[in-house]
Amino acid sequence: MPCYKLTVAYDGTEFHGWQKQEPPEKEPLRTAQGVLEQAVREVVREQVYIQGASRTDSGVHARGQVAVFTTEREFPLERLPRAINGRLPDDIQVRKADVVADDFDPISHCTSKGYRYRIAHSIGKSGLKPLFDRHYVAWSPHVLDVAAMHDAAQRLVGEHDFASLTRVAHGRESTVRTVYACDVTATSKRRLRIDISGNGFLYNMIRIIAGTLTEVGRGKIKPETIDEILQARDRAAAGSTMVPEGLCLMWVKYGERDAP
């Protein structure tokens, strides 16, 4: 049976995250996985199950989510995305389809993921919040020092115990992760982005990193304090958890054995 790997993009504003949520005796919540799975079932006419690479939270967006399903039927790769998109709402779409090995696992075979977090800070003299793109960018009422934030971000690169930078009830056996790159870049006078990649991320880890780097940008903590935060292994040592709107899953990469 062919196994299809889909590259999926979605606006997370109206989704309760990626993963299906079906509370007992209640209507299922609207999730990206649930909506996509229903569309795929209509195309292949089978009760297929969609497995995703990353469990994005409510309000978090994606440009390069990876989803996989197996079916008994074969479909032309150039037509499959169009067929699925024809059954999807406007806030989610399949951008590409590939055939992969039937034992392909989008989670365990992942070698790295890349996320982007966007922040608008002290917009204009009146400090107005973003309006038209408010669902895609976080806001800080303070002018942020991008250079200091970038300096602090470099201290996160490498293998560390990120216990201070995840939710207390994270549900993972280990909080050790490897960050391959973490860069803070000014995209305009009052806009910046944080690009971070690694072998995996803990619950709320990127949003807490963004909150901690924002504290650096405000001058509340120094860049070198990041070292102390990591060593503390205590959530209380780090900054706040930033809102989900600024976060986007940009890409998921796999080893050569899984390449289409």
In whole angstroms, give the CA distance from residue 88 to residue 77.
Answer: 18
Q: Which positions are catalytic?
A: 57
Token pair 């795929």 in the structure block, residue: 40
* Closest residue by Cα to residue 139 from 117, 125, 119: 119
CB 244 within 8 A of CB 58: yes
Token pair 């209640």 in the structure block, residue: 26
166 backbone dihedrals φ, ψ, rounded to 5°: -145, 165
Work out the end-to-end distance of the chain between its first and last CA atoms, rounded to an integer number of angstroms. 16
In whole angstroms, give the CA distance from residue 146 to residue 184.
Answer: 7
